[in-house]
Amino acid sequence: MRLHIRDVSKTYPNGVQGLKDVTLTIPAGMYGLLGPNGAGTSTLMRILATLQEPDEGSLTLGENGTYFTNLDWLPAIGYQPNRALRNAGDRREHGLAPRSAIPSLYDLEARQDATGAGRITFEAVVGTEQGQIAVAPGALRRTWAEGRRRYFHCVADAPIGNEYALFSARYAVREGQWNDVAIRIFHHPGHVENLDRMLRSVQASLSYYTAQFGPYPFRHLRIVEYPGHGRGMHADAMQITHQEGFSLLNPDIDRDLDLPFYVVAHEVAHQAESRPAPESTPGIC
């Protein structure tokens, strides 16, 4: 079981910095201490045990699954605000002026910023190891094997926003249908408790949102699980993604609402909502 640590930082309320920009992958069977005399180890172990959250970065413990987003790794045209230094301490260290997370509503220049508001035509060939399934936006046109690698050719049937993720894992797949929309849930084989609720939610949501807001613009909708203990979900065009924590929600707990059904319905709504105003200012959803 591998441990992936990416850009993790943690500063305590008293100003003591426990970790700063820690990035490493520890393979199965490899154990050790971080830094001289184990400096940073106690902070890292608290985060691994979910006793506290890091200020920045992510930790993934597991061997079944890989994912990345185009915003993190792929080239892009023009200035990308999401790739600028955001931490106040890091900006001071590099002589940069302070920067608020969201521009003021009265910042006229920010109102004209349409970064990320455009749509793209998407097509990709994703290679992975044998025994895994790669998932990308769009319809799977074909798949083939070469040597020890397996390849998946995906093409979106309509323009999508320029924010998407690519996944690969030893997935099990639950399939469903709503009218001409193919629904696929890519999940870890042992995480099956909430699959029926999730599928019913997608079907009910597409029916309701189509009647209220207009037709769903794609012929596919996927829910994709990836490693991590987070319990939330995220929606991009044709894809709703979540970490393992969501799969482990206990459906038998007595709640006032069916939480898995509700959260999936919320994420499907992002597929139906109209395009928001492009500028990133207070009040923009």
| Whole-number Å distance between alpha carbons of 231 and 243 | 6
Q: Which CATH class is domain 119-272?
A: alpha beta
The count of residues in the chain is: 285
Tokens coding 75: 């080239």
pLDDT in tens, 2-32: 566 677 787 878 887 777 777 766 555 444 4
Kindly state the average pLDDT of the residues 48-54: 51
Q: What fold characterizes domain 3-63? A: Rossmann fold (3.40.50)
Kindly state the average pLDDT of the residues 155-163: 88
**Ranges for all domains in the chain classified under CATH 3.30.2010.30:** 119-272
pLDDT at 107: 77
| Helical pair 259-272 and 195-213, crossing angle rounded to 10 deg | 40
**Ranges for all domains in the chain classified under CATH 3.40.50.300:** 3-63
- Residue 30 burial class via C-beta count within 10 angstroms: exposed 0-12, middle 13-18, buried 19 and up: exposed
